[in-house]
Amino acid sequence: MGLVKRKAIPPAEAAKPKQEQSCMELAACLEDADPRTRRRAARDMLHCPHAAGVLASRLNREPDTAVREVILTTLVRLNDPSAAGRMADCLRSEDAALRNEVIEAIGLLACDVSDVLRSLLADPDPDIRIFAVNILDSRRQPDVESWLIEVIERDAHLNVCATAVDVLCEAGSEAAVDPLLRLKDRFRSEAFIQFAANRALKSIRGA
């Protein structure tokens, strides 16, 4: 017993799968009972055309966290704007972990997701609008402040506005001062908004 060195890593040729799987086969593997097969298929679909749609449609049904994680990473790497909308559908899921994973993944997409964000921010469900603000928070896009200002100027729901104010504490500049004052005026009787907006104003003015 002790430290041993054999050819612990097989040479590439010996270990290579006998043949590359076609995109259709990979798509079929996404439905396999074994999560390892689904995980590898999700990873290998990176080079398949139309992969975004196939992966996004699996996402909502996928029970295994590790497979979901690979699906989301592949979707982010595909960077296909059409996938963002399909991913956003998962924000309506009852599964909080899935919702958080999707918020993070859309935040990582390098492509323009303005259309998706606009539609999420106009959703009748305030929870979906809060998730949209969370996505704005996670995206490092330069115009995030103007999106947040629009939210606090227009959204009627206290919690949606409060979430946006929270992000403005970090992302806000002088441009957010007047909208924050108007928000305070709009929710005059809501102590929490008064507190949150004052905190944001202090953070902006102190900066």
Partner 1 sequence: MRASPPPSEPVPAITGEDFLKFKEFFYRKTGINFESAKRYFVDKRLVERIEATRTGDFRGYFTLLRFQDSGEELQQLTNLMTVNETYFLREEYQFRCLVDSILPEIVQRRTGSHPIRIWCIPSSSGEEPYSVAMYLMEMWSGISDWDVEIISSDIDTSILRRARAARYSIRSVQHVPALWLEKYFKGVANEYQLCDDLRQAVEFTRVNLSEPADTFRYRNFDVIFCRNLLIYFDDVSRKTAAETFYEALNPGGYICLGHSESMSRISPLFKVCKFPEAIVYRKGLEAR
Q: List contacts with partner 1 (CB under 8 A).
A: 1-12, 15, 34-36, 39-40, 43-44, 65-66, 69-70, 73, 76-77, 97, 101, 108
**Amino acid symbol at 125:** D
Alpha-carbon distance values, 174 to 109, 146, 179, 185 (Å): 28, 12, 10, 18
Distance CA 45, CA 89 (A): 21
CB 43, min distance to partner 1, A? 7
| Nearer of residues 5 and 18 to partner 1, judged by Cβ | 5
| Shortest distance in whole angstroms from residue 164 CB to partner 1 | 23
3-state secondary structure of 27: helix
Instruction: State in angstroms the smallest separation of the CB of 5 from partner 1.
Output: 5
Rounded least distance, CB 88 to partner 1, Å: 19
Cβ 9 to partner 1 shortest distance, Å: 5
Question: What gap in Å lies between CA 167 and CA 203, rounded to an integer?
Answer: 11
Q: How far is the CB of 67 from partner 1 (least distance, A)?
A: 10
* Closer Cβ to partner 1, 100 or 198, answer by number: 100
Q: Which of 94, 97, 147 is nearest to 122 (CA)?
A: 147
Q: Which is nearer to partner 1, 77 or 157 (CB)?
A: 77
H-helix or E-strand spanning residue 12: helix 12-15
Distance of CA 32 to the CA centre of its chain: 26
Name the residue type at position 22: S
Closest CB to partner 1 among residues 22, 65: 65
Q: Which is nearer to partner 1, 108 or 169 (CB)?
A: 108
Question: Which CB, 98 or 200, lies closer to partner 1?
Answer: 98
Collapsing DSSP to helix, strand or coil, 120 comes out as helix
Nearest to 54 by CA among 79, 24, 21, 95: 24
